[in-house]
Chains A and B, each alone.
Chain A
Amino acid sequence: NAGVTQTPKFQVLKTGQSMTLQCAQDMNHNSMYWYRQDPGMGLRLIYYSASEGTTDKGEVPNGYNVSRLNKREFSLRLESAAPSQTSVYFCASSDPGQVSSYEQYFGPGTRLTVT
């Protein structure tokens, strides 16, 4: 199993450009998440999806949109990129139905620079 995969690994955008970050998981998890991590900081939750067809805002949703395309895929879109969105973006998945334990599995990250 690949776990959680993210594309692209690196991206440079100009201010005002748009792009979509892709995330997929092959663990049949119900829930998926998007975080951003600024240099020297902890992770902050942007959006999450409890299950297919639902999405909810996290701590820092402004400037982003998400789509839960199906159970496997959860994409993050920047409609008009700004330098303040320069960050590393992590996707994660989890399955709250596993009552014996609970953890989130993270992808390798997408490093985004907006100039």
Chain B
Amino acid sequence: DAKTTQPTSMDCAEGRAANLPCNHSTISGNEYVYWYRQIHSQGPQYIIHGLKNNETNEMASLIITEDRKSSTLILPHATLRDTAVYYCIVRVRPYSSASKIIFGSGTRLSIRP
């Protein structure tokens, strides 16, 4: 699985959009970009994933550059409850067997009132 690079920490004002970057310059053609987050003391929570097109769901949007070497997770209207560590993971999507997720250190996002 490709390695990812994320800033150690970021902060954002409540109500504004939080944009979390991730570099994955060695990504392969069959690898997806996944985002998880971990709110303090809880288990990680899946947010979104994508291959090459931009994706949006009820939680966030994922913007992947055309060369797929980087991506940005966007939380459109950040709230205090979005304070968490956000993990960007690049991996092949499995079809028939368990596939390991290798978590890095992630980005600690703090939302300020």
Tell me which of A44, A104, A107, A108 contacts B46 (CB under 8 A): A104
Q: Could you count the A-B residue pairs with CB atoms below 8 Å apart for me: how many are there?
A: 73
Bound together, the chains give a CA A4 to CA B87 distance in angstroms of 20
Name B41's closest neighbour in chain A (CB-CB): A109
Chain A to chain B contacts (Cβ below 8 Å), 28 pairs: A31-B98, A33-B100, A33-B101, A42-B106, A43-B44, A43-B101, A43-B103, A44-B103, A45-B100, A45-B101, A45-B102, A48-B98, A50-B97, A51-B97, A51-B98, A92-B44, A96-B96, A96-B97, A96-B98, A99-B93, A99-B95, A101-B49, A102-B93, A104-B46, A106-B42, A106-B43, A108-B42, A108-B43
Taking Cβ atoms with an 8 Å cutoff, the residues of A that contact B are 4, 30-33, 35, 41-45, 48-51, 56, 58-59, 90, 92, 94, 96-97, 99, 101-109
